[in-house]
Amino acid sequence: MADNEKQKYYITTPIYYPSGNPHIGHCYTTIACDCVARMKRMQGYDVMFLTGTDEHGQKIEKKAQEAGTTPKAYVDDIVVNFKKLWARLGISYDRYVRTTDDYHIETVQNIFTKLYKDGWIYKSEYKGKYCTPCESFWTDSQLVDGKCPDCGREVTDASEEAYFFKLSHFAPKLKELLLDEEKNFLNPKSRVNEMIHNFIDPGLQDLCVSRTSFSWGIPVTFDDKHIVYVWLDALTNYISALGFMNDTYNDYEKYWPADAHVMAKEIVRFHSLIWPSILMALGEPLPERIFGHGWITFGDGGKMSKSKGNVIDPFVLCDRYGVDALRFHLLREMVFGSDMPYSNEMMFNRYNSDLANDLGNLVSRTVAMTNKYFGGTLPVEKEFTDADNDLLEQLDQLPDYVSENYGNLHFSDALERIFRVIARTNKYIDENEPWKLAKDDSMKPRLAAVLYNLLDSIRRVTILLTPVMPHTAPLIYEQIGAGEDITGWYDSAKKHLLPADVTVKAGPVLFPRIDVEKELKELEALAPQKEEAPSDLEPLKELTKYDNFAALDLRAVKVLECENVPKSDKLLKFKVDDGFGERQVLSGIAKYYKPEELIGKTLAMIVNLEPRKMMGFESNGMILSVKHGDGYKVIEFPDTVKPGSDIS
């Protein structure tokens, strides 16, 4: 079929915030889309699979500030990590959109201007809660105990000039869209009621689409103290990446509307209410379908849990168990629409039962028997019987079921069914007992038929597993002697495509068994140390120049006198010998030492701090001490260290 005759299929992940590195949750959505994209390609579709990063906004601006860098430099680094992870996971995306890309900026600016000219965007005032030190607006629902969620300080009512999009206008049309049974716009269906009851029925508010209180965003061309506020910028990626209103790409006509926007449930609202409204205002077609899956949750309250060996660095998991094991785990265990608590233990158990025992063993047993009984090449003469029919029928029913379920993101149903057929195939071995047939020369044609059926079953299920386990499939084909010409998607529906005199080739164990207890312990030992750090440790400070250290004069000093400061339960007053003379210094360690304990000791001190007055006494420097339990311990040197000795 020529390229231009192919049916197109356009699938997208959300564009992720590069405010931190990607984690297993981002992996799920991306692997899910990859699986669908791979299947559609195998089915002959002209696929566009888009992913990317959502790089503007106040949070990124702040993170960059904290890291002492520019927002662009900050996101550049993290985008590298996203791309590395996608490469590691075998994600076959066709295009990667960054909202800082010039073409995207151009599209957003053009859309904003068009919507303004057409009257869908108007200028008004944004009212919210404002935290002055953070220079941030918050909505009531974002506040924590009525305070700024970032710094915990009081917020005040404030307003700023802003542009608004007439979202409220679209409420009736949105309701109609969501309730259209035939169109089946939003999946799973349960989210339809949520959208209608929680957002549309209570009354849709117009949407604030610009801000003036921070600057990391796309400027509004005709009013450049404003930047375009997040969702208009972010959602537009799905069409900017195709070249809508920009000249960089030229695929809008070909791929739009999207066939599937995939995301987790928390952003379904933006995709099923705001996005269609923007498109309606632009007069453009709406996406076919929106999929809102559940969350992968981590330990109590959705937080990352370090207990139970739950090290969930995807790179570590891929390195130890293989990329396909991780892909399989996520797609097999996550039931579409529901949440799934992440558990390595669950992954190991399923790996052992499905991949090591059922699939891995089926392949290695079948190849081993073909080698043993026929020297690796089956004879052409075979005797098929009715005893083969049940297995063949189950295989026949599989491709349609899998295709439909992968396409609807019901991966766990599809995989469950595939593995039922794999179990059925294993049972076929036990039913036909090849080891008995091998003992009787007259049964050779039957034995050849049994092994041929087994090899061909493996071929047929492997085709259907390819979108989930793209790295494993070629390894299996190599072992069972299946060439490219018989491993296309639709070849799964056809029986007996392997050559009649097929030759097998034993290979490495596909899925070595996992010792669950041992692996859980080893993963626990790999848990990042910083997670284990007691929470009372001060965070590490930023790097500083050597000169800042060199400017401090650190010396050993001998305590000549020491007494409590009157009316202070904290301060001790010292007279010390600094090697050049005597000086007075105060230290807040009265709770941890009696004065007489310290007299005669040689301690560490910063001697060139500017004098400070405390409780009426001048302090010339600072005695160094280290946090110890609930208190402090002075840093002590042996008696033989001369006062005034340099500490470096």
Nearer to ligand MSP, 92 or 645 (CB): 92
Nearer to ligand MSP, 267 or 554 (CB): 267
434 binds ligand MSP (CB under 6 A): no
In the DSSP assignment, the letter for residue 76 is: H
Contact 96, 35 (CB under 8 A): no
Nearer to ligand MSP, 295 or 617 (CB): 295
What lies within 8 Å, CB to CB, of 401 at 6+ separation is 414, 417
* Closest distance to ligand MSP from the beta carbon of 17 (Å): 4
β-pair partners for 159: 127
Six-digit token pair at 605?
Answer: 């001190």
Nearest residue to ligand MSP, scored by beta-carbon proximity? 25
List the one residue from 26, 211, 289, 573 that touches ligand MSP (CB under 6 A). Answer: 26
CA–CA separation, 121 vs 498, rounded Å?
62
Task: Give me the helix-helix angle, 58-66 and 71-88, nearest 10°.
Answer: 100
* Closest distance to ligand MSP from the beta carbon of 75 (Å): 12
Q: What residue has token string 């992870």?
A: 85
- Which positions from 179 through 238 interact with ligand MSP, judged by CB under 6 A? 234-235, 237
CA–CA separation, 494 vs 486, rounded Å?
9
Maximum separation of any 2 CA atoms in the chain, in Å: 110
* Closest distance to ligand MSP from the beta carbon of 196 (Å): 21
519 binds ligand MSP (CB under 6 A): no
Give the torsion sign (CA, 316, 322, 327, 333).
negative
Q: How many CB atoms are located within 10 Å of the residue 411 CB?
A: 27
Nearer to ligand MSP, 178 or 296 (CB): 296
What lies within 8 Å, CB to CB, of 641 at 6+ separation is 556, 602
What lies within 8 Å, CB to CB, of 638 at 6+ separation is 602
Nearer to ligand MSP, 240 or 246 (CB): 240
14 binds ligand MSP (CB under 6 A): yes
- Which positions from 541 through 560 interact with ligand MSP, judged by CB under 6 A? none
In the DSSP assignment, the letter for residue 246 is: S
List the one residue from 9, 10, 28, 291 that touches ligand MSP (CB under 6 A). Answer: 28
Nearer to ligand MSP, 60 or 367 (CB): 60
96 binds ligand MSP (CB under 6 A): no
* Closest distance to ligand MSP from the beta carbon of 170 (Å): 18
Contact 297, 341 (CB under 8 A): yes
Three-state SS at 406:
helix
* Closest distance to ligand MSP from the beta carbon of 135 (Å): 22
Does the N-terminal peptide bond of residue 474 adopt cis geometry, omega within 30 degrees of 0? no
267 binds ligand MSP (CB under 6 A): yes
Nearer to ligand MSP, 136 or 240 (CB): 240
Single out the segment in contact with ligand MSP by CB under 6 A; choices: 252-260, 263-271, 439-447, 577-585: 263-271
CA–CA separation, 487 vs 476, rounded Å?
11
Nearer to ligand MSP, 14 or 481 (CB): 14
- Which positions from 268 through 307 interact with ligand MSP, judged by CB under 6 A? 295-296
CA–CA separation, 9 vs 260, rounded Å?
8
Contact letters (x/-) for ligand MSP, 32-61, by CB under 6 A? ----------------------x-------
Closest CA to 292 of 178, 169, 208, 139: 178
Three-state SS at 551:
coil
* Closest distance to ligand MSP from the beta carbon of 236 (Å): 8
Nearer to ligand MSP, 6 or 88 (CB): 88
The site that binds ligand MSP (CB under 6 A) totals a number of residues, namely 18
Please give the residue ranges that form the binding site for ligand MSP (CB under 6 A).
Answer: 14-17, 25-26, 28-29, 54, 234-235, 237, 263-264, 266-267, 295-296
